[in-house]
Amino acid sequence: MNKWHKMKRTDLQKFVSRLAEKWEVWVPYRADGKWEFGIYDAMKDLDFPESIIHVSLKSLFFPKRRPVAKYEEDSKWSLQAVVPEDRPRIVIGLHPCDVAGIEYMDKVFLKSEHKDAMYEAERERTMLIGMICSEMEDNCHCTDRGLAPDSTRGMDVAFVEADDHYLFKSMTDRGKQVMQSEYLKEVDEKPEKKEWPAGKYAIASPEEFMEMYDDKIWHELSDICLTCGICTYACPTCVCFLVTDEKFKGKGERVTVWDSCQLQSYSRMAGGHNTRKTPASRVRNRTLDKFAYSHLRYGQISCTGCGRCVMVCPLKRSFPQLGARLSERIEEKKKGKAKAGTRSKEA
Amino acid sequence: MTTIELVPKPATIKKVIEESRDVKSYVLQMNRAQKMAARPGQFVEVSVQGFGEATFAVTRTAKDKTDFTISVKRMGHLTKMLHRAAPGDVVGVRGPYGNSFPVDAWKGNGIVVIGGGIGLAPLRPVIDHILQHRTNFGKLEIIFGARTPDDILYKEDLRIWENDKSIALHTTIDVPFEGWSGRVGVVPVVVKDLAPRPDNKIAIVCGPPIMIKFTAAALRELKWPGNRVYTTLEMKMQCGIGQCGRCNIGEKFICKDGPVFSLDQIPEHAL
């Protein structure tokens, strides 16, 4: 029976330094009050936030700018595919909502007729040592999205903060590789089970969202959105991209770069035709993509409840609020209909 | 060796055909002797190194599948570069991608092909298929509209189709033009005038977005059921494999679930 293992807090840095001898290790670091994953540096103090890491780890698997091929500018055709990275890597300290984001990216890039070999290589080379959350922050609402802050699904190893120590447990065969450590001692102790509260952003069902396509509310919602697109960059499941060629000093690269459905240029075609010219049409597209289209495509909505879009929104009012407002409207409509139904019966 | 789907394979331009004032066709052959077996309605991503890539319908496939043709209207950066290309030049090709016109399921039906401008390009393989399997299909009617006589594409094909007794060809231009004695009027109006009947027939429509929209409306008026009218949607595709996100209509991706749809498969607002 696989048991939890105890690690002294003071041993954590030693443990990670040992891992870094063999693996490329990524851990969260704080800069200007924000947590972001970076390559482990033995000279820097190691610490883990109790909850959300502000910058999602999407870019570790699907970088903002990603060369897929290289070419010599002075040739007519010399395009050569790049070789995907295969150095083994460990990411330590991601949370259950981060795993949910990765699971969604897997659906886009791997469960496809033409899978993305570069994404696959990043997944294959990476062991996930996930951290169970000890609290939910203000914008956290994974519990509204069918997830739990203490879920260990998809992690190779899970760990959690206990009183004066950490508890670690391997969840996969891959994870067992790091459990053979002088810093880990098998114990009978288990992480404390907690009751998690609901978030602030409960939403209607995907089917109900689909009914709202022609509703007037999109104009109301687009009035409170700048369609600046920052939410899409912060979102762990927004993986839309552009394919383009970039040249510098005679060397060229074909790259994928993150794109955003909130920007007008995203849907503009050669010749100027644009299928989503108005802010309302773009806000509708993203809201429905998050809460309905994703479900119809992949059986999973593409909001993990991480709340990062709210943190980065210049108006602090992003898609969770839009989704919640829309869901209110759905309720209002239902009640209206029920009422109308009653009246018509009476008449 | 891993294959990165987004990296194109080289193809050589065998022939350039000047179709109209702003459209050229390119006959392409894959460099490593790969065949290109595109079904009618499928598309490819074509790259010019240093200028990126864009989506083009395969407008003709050689019988032995060793070469294929795309038609390119000069619109933006990439198409401008393609228009400078000459036989012997190398471009990149990915694909073919997407679904196709269900020509096998249409056996026994008459086919009405309705094309506007460059929109005839993805429909031409259907015409080719019908002509190669002539006895499998009923009457073939082709309605082709261009802005001006100078915008008429595939002139050689039009001559052949004109002389083919089994084809009723109607070529029209949008507005009167000096020296043009043929039909004048935009495609949706011509469709209403000709009033093709839907019985045992399939209509396929492609052209600029506005043309598709009004032609679809004209056919609906003529009582064509949505499942007998097909279109191929010219929305902005990029990756071609259902990942970059931009060509969606609701939950569907045009590049992956389409580009061929019957009208009853897509909401009216998507046209």
ipTM: 0.91
For the CA atoms of chain B, what is the radius of gyration?
18
What CATH architecture does domain B103-270 belong to?
3-Layer(aba) Sandwich (3.40)
Contact of B6 with A256, CB cutoff 8 Å: yes
Please provide residue B185's backbone torsions phi and psi, each rounded to the nearest 5 degrees. 145, 150
Write down the domain spans for chain A. 5-60+84-186
Quick one: pLDDT at residue A340? Answer: 56
Please state the rounded mean pLDDT for residues B141-146. 98
User: What one-character DSSP code corresponds to residue A274?
Assistant: B
Q: Is B108 on the interface with A (CB under 8 A)?
A: no
Q: Do A296 and B251 touch (CB under 8 A)?
A: yes
Fold exhibited by the domain B9-97: Elongation Factor Tu (Ef-tu); domain 3 (2.40.30)
Q: Which helix (H) or strand (E) holds B129?
A: helix B124-132
Complete DSSP assignment for B68-85: EEEEEE--SHHHHHHHH-
Which residues of chain A are under the pLDDT cut of 70?
1, 338-347
Quick one: pLDDT at residue A22? Answer: 94
Three-state SS string over A70-92 comes to EEECCCCCCCEECCCCCCCEEEE
Q: Do A117 and B246 touch (CB under 8 A)?
A: no
* Minimal CA separation from A326 to chain B, in Å: 17
Cα A295 from Cα A276, distance rounded (Å): 22
Quick one: pLDDT at residue A339? Answer: 62
Cα B6 from Cα B242, distance rounded (Å): 12
Cα B133 from Cα B90, distance rounded (Å): 33
Quick one: pLDDT at residue A347? Answer: 38
Q: Provide the mean pLDDT of chain B.
A: 95
- The tens digit of pLDDT for each residue in A86-134 reads 999 999 999 999 999 999 999 999 998 999 999 999 999 999 999 999 9
* Minimal CA separation from B239 to chain A, in Å: 7
Question: Residues of B with CB below 8 A from A111's CB?
Answer: none
Question: Residues of B with CB below 8 A from A70's CB?
Answer: none
DSSP H helices in A110-247:
117-124, 173-176, 206-210, 217-223, 230-234
Please state the pTM of the whole predicted model.
0.93
Quick one: pLDDT at residue A56? Answer: 95
Question: HSE-up of A124 (CA within 13 Å, CB side)?
Answer: 11
Write down the domain spans for chain B. 9-97, 103-270
Q: Do A271 and B251 touch (CB under 8 A)?
A: no
Work out the pLDDT band at B1, boundaries 50, 70, 90: low
Nearest to A286 by CA among A225, A215, A329, A335: A225
Q: Do B52 and A270 touch (CB under 8 A)?
A: no
Question: Residues of B with CB below 8 A from A210's CB?
Answer: 250
Complete DSSP assignment for A312-337: H-TTS--HHHHHHHHHHHHHHHHHHH
Dihedral sign from CA coordinates of A120, A171, A166, A34: positive
Is-same-fold flag (B9-97; B103-270)?
A: no
Question: Residues of B with CB below 8 A from A69's CB?
Answer: 4, 6-7
Q: Do B4 and A267 touch (CB under 8 A)?
A: no
Question: Residues of B with CB below 8 A from A68's CB?
Answer: 4, 6-7
